[in-house]
Each structure stands twice: as structure tokens, then as C-alpha cells.
Amino acid sequence: MKFKLIKSLDVAGLSVFEPVVRLLWGEEPKVQIKKIGLYIVIPLLVFISFLLVWDFMGPRHKTKSGEVPTPKVVLDAYKKIVLFHDQEYAKLDDYNREGEDRVAHLTEVESRLRIVRDVLGQIRIALEDAENQFQEKLAKYLKPYQQVVAEKQKDYQARKAEVEGKLITWGKQLDVNDKEGKKDYIKAVALAKREFEKNEKHLKVLRTELADKKINESPELVTLRLQQTKLEQEEQFLVKRISYLSRANRSLKIEAAETILGDQLANLSNAYGDEGVYGLTLNILNSQERIEKIKKSSYAKPPTFFDQIWTSIKCVFTGFLIATFIAIPLGILCGLSSVFMASMMPLISLFKPVSPIVWLPIVFIIVGGFITNPEEAFISPAFLSTAITVALCSLWPTLVNTALGVASVENDHLNVARMLRLNLWDRLTKIIIPSSLPLIFAGLRISLGVGWMVLIAGELLSSSPGLGKFVWDMFNNGSSETFAQMFVVVFFVGIIGFLLDRLMVIMQKLVSFDEAVSTL
């Protein structure tokens, strides 16, 4: 049991937890505790201190797009993302509810809406009071500053008028030949000009300061605002739910359409000798068609963060599979034949360094040419283009590693094959491929990592649904939460990338034969 656990940990690349398992079985507690300290506690402490440093530094680094979010803000943003997800799925469920279930939910939501509206009413009143108080306070606070600015402006204007007046008079009195006087005059006007400019600049500074002057809103006001926002959003959500539980509900729509159909059928069975029979019959057929369509309809749910993650994962694996199917056979051929390798080399060297940003538009155009009717295509062209781009960028490590693996099969193993007179196919499947599997999987692992990175960029460009699009949408939102939402994405992209990597490590370990773990 213990060894199985340790082995599984090792295979999963989580051997850092090995001491924990050993400790649980009471094996050399001192050594294990020391190991836990070294490999678990210290990294954990580093991570925590990273969070602390971030928490401390974040608010101190102000950008024009707002503060760098603290971990708490990021967590809040994440919670909002989850809330959005839950709400959309609630709407989806509501749309599909029927019968008793629907009525029960409707009553529940309606009663909740009443409560929300009550509270919201109270909050609005309280908020208005608080707002007025704050405005008064603000006016009072700003008054002295405004006065200062006003006075300064008045002073400067008076000074300017006075100086200008004097200068004008002086200028008028200047004698034609009074060279000295003119010199002085020029000096005086220059000084005056400089003074005016200085004053004006000062005024501007004062005005900017005034515009920036503010007092912190009372915590009460802030909470009230937050509550209002939250409740208004909930109100909106509930109203929408009610509509999906009542008039926009699928089962009710079907019912209504069926009632109409029933009437129409009744009409038809009574009708005779009328040229309207034809139209009536057509209407009946239309009603039936409509019912069928409603039955098949579903709530048009916007993709939530978690939907996007799922799409991204599907996309990266699609691309990864395409890459694998291209890279492994090519790699094997390259490894087997040096002529083939040499002839492929220029192509590989040419395409390998091309960035996904270049591939994407090209792939887009090509794929678009093949899929003329996306409505009926079983796969969305944007999705496919992104997947192919991922494939194009990620197939190289696998290709190179496969070629290397195949080319470097041990001579002894090949000799065995020769001695046994294995045919080409057997030699490939029984000797060459098994022997190069560890290298191939090492390549696949790198490929998947590259693919995941390319994917996000690809989605961002192609507007194919997924995490990349989510990032771009959030960026386009330009809201105060944008920054925090991006951080959420950073964590998710990182964690998923890590998990994908672990997955490949496990597979790599399972196919590797040099270590004892392979028996697992």
C-alpha cells in the first residue's frame, strides 16, 4: 500500500509528497520531517511571502489604468467570475424547467425578488441621504481651496492689468532716440511677460490640484453603493430568471403553440367548401414546425469562464493530436532515412521558427476556404484554425525528438532485429518505436507546453472561444476589474499548463522502461 502510493506519487511527478506518506507510516520520522521542511514547507513559505510582497507592493504601484490588484481583489474578481457562471447556468436550467418544478422555482424566485426590491428601496433612500451629506461635506471641504484659487486668479489678473497699463504708458512716453530707455523697456516687458506666464502656470497647477482634491467617501457610503450595485445586479438576474420561468420558458412556449395548433385543427375539422382550407392547412403545418423548433431550442448562454477553459483544453488537444499525427510519422521517416531527413531539413528549418501570429491568418484563410457554410459545419472554423495553428507551432519538438529517438535506437537492438530477420513493419513496431517512445514522449511533452502557450495567443487573435478570447474581452472591457480578471487568468493558465505538463510526465514515465516504476 505504502509503496504503491509512493510509486503513484513518483509517476505523477509529485514525489515531493513522498516524505508525507512515509511519515504517515511512521518511517524515520526525523528524516521525513526534515524533508517535508525542505521540500514542502519552504516552497510554501516562499509562495506565501510572494503573496505578502504582492499584497504590499500592489497598491503602491499606481498605473493610469488603476492600481495593481492585491490578492484579495483578484480573489474577489474570481468570485465574480464564478457568480456569473452560476447565474448563467441557473438561467439555462430555468429555460428548460417544466411542470411543477418550474412553478416551484418561479414562486421561490418571485419571493426572493420581493425581498431584494424591498431592501433595495431602503438602500436607495439611505444612499441618497448619504450622498447628499457627502456632497455637502465635499463642498465645505473644497470651499477654502476654491477661494484660494479664485483669489489668486483675481490677484494675478489685477497685477497683470496694472503692469500692462504701466508698460503701455511707458511705451507711449518713450523718446525716439532714447536708446537706453528702449533697452530698459524691452527688459521690463520681457520680465513682465515672464511673470505673467509664471503666474498662469501657477494658476494652472492650482486648478489641477483643485480638480484632484477630494475627500474619501465615508465607509458607510461606500458600503451602501456596493450593496446597491450588488442588489441591482441580483434584481436584474432575478427578473431574467422569472422571464425564463414564465413567458420565455420553453415548456410554456410549447404549450402556447400547442393550444394554437389545437384551435387550428379544430377549425380545419369543421371547415368545408371554403377556399381558406388551403391556408388553414398551411398554418397547421407551420404550427407543427414551430413546435418542433421550440422543442429543439436551448437557452443562448454566453460562454462563461469555465466554458472557455473547457473549450481551450479541447482546442489544445485537437491541435496537439493533429501535431502528433503529423510529427510522429514524419519523425520516424526522418530517423529511418538520412536522405529523407536531409530532404526535409530545409522545410523544417524554414517553418519551425515561424510565429503563431503569422500562421493564424494564413490558416484562417485556408480553413475558411474549405468550410463554406459554418452554420452546418460540425466544427467551427475559428476553432479549427486555432487548433491547426497550435499544431503547426507545436509539432516541431515532437518531430525532432522522434527523429532523434528513431535514429538513435541502440545498435544491439537493431542487431537483434536483424538476427531475427524481422520485416520492416515488425522492426518499426516491435523495436524502433518502443525504443524511441521515451524520447517521443519527451517531445510530446514540450509540444503540449508550446501548444498551450500558442493557444492563448491564437484564440486572442482568431476570436475563437477560449481563454485567449476571455483575456481579450476583459482587456476590451477596460473596467476597473480588468486588471484583477487578467490575474485570475494568469493563475488559471499557469495551473492548467502545469496540470497538462504533469499529465505528460505521467505518460512519459509509463512508457519509459529504464526505471523500476515502469512496472506500475
C-alpha distances (whole Å) from 19 to each of 26, 31, 42, 198 are 10, 8, 14, 72
Task: Tell me the longest C-alpha to C-alpha distance in the chain.
Answer: 122
177 touches another protein by CB under 8 A: no
According to DSSP, the β-strands at 62-63 and 66-67 are: antiparallel
Binding track over 46-85 against another protein, x by CB under 8 A:
------------------xx--------------xx--x-
Which residues is 62 bridged to in the sheet?
67
Nearest CA to 466 out of 259, 323, 314 is that of 314
What is the number of other CB atoms lying within 10 angstroms of the CB of residue 218? Answer: 13
152 touches another protein by CB under 8 A: no
223 touches another protein by CB under 8 A: no
- Is the four-CA dihedral 412, 413, 418, 424 of positive or negative sign? negative
Distance CA 93, CA 245 (A): 9
Interface residue with another protein, options 121, 165, 181, 374 (CB under 8 A): 374
Give the total of residues touching another protein (CB under 8 A): 91
160 touches another protein by CB under 8 A: no
Min dist. Cβ of residue 264 to another protein (A): 9
Q: Restricting to residues 481-510, which ones interact with another protein according to CB under 8 A?
A: 481, 485
Min dist. Cβ of residue 71 to another protein (A): 20
Distance CA 483, CA 474 (A): 8
Binding track over 247-286 against another protein, x by CB under 8 A:
xx----x-----------xx-xx-----x--xx-xxxxxx
- Contact yes or no for 456/470 (Cβ under 8 A): no
111 touches another protein by CB under 8 A: no
Stretch that binds another protein, among 40-48, 294-302, 321-329, 497-505 (CB under 8 A): 294-302
Residue 353 DSSP code: T
Binding track over 411-430 against another protein, x by CB under 8 A:
-xx-xx-xxxxx---x---x
Distance CA 4, CA 21 (A): 11
100 touches another protein by CB under 8 A: no
Min dist. Cβ of residue 20 to another protein (A): 27
Kindly state the cell numbers that stand for 413.
537492438
Distance CA 303, CA 470 (A): 9
Distance CA 165, CA 162 (A): 5
Min dist. Cβ of residue 376 to another protein (A): 9
- Contact yes or no for 90/241 (Cβ under 8 A): yes
98 touches another protein by CB under 8 A: no
Min dist. Cβ of residue 23 to another protein (A): 28
Min dist. Cβ of residue 231 to another protein (A): 11
Which of 278, 378 has the CB closer to another protein?
A: 278
Q: Restricting to residues 297-316, which ones interact with another protein according to CB under 8 A?
A: 297-302
Binding track over 454-483 against another protein, x by CB under 8 A:
------xx-x-x---x--xxxxxxxxxx--
> DSSP per residue over 239-288, as a string?
HHHHHHHTTT-HHHHHHHHHHHHHHHHHHHHH--S-THHHHHHHHHHHHH
Which of 300, 350 has the CB closer to another protein?
A: 300
Amino acid code (one letter) for 411: N
Report the alpha-carbon angle 92-97-103, nearest 5.
125
Interface residue with another protein, options 169, 177, 349, 373 (CB under 8 A): 373
Q: Restricting to residues 338-367, which ones interact with another protein according to CB under 8 A?
A: none
Residues recorded for the chain: 520
241 touches another protein by CB under 8 A: no
Which of 19, 466 has the CB closer to another protein?
A: 466
172 touches another protein by CB under 8 A: no
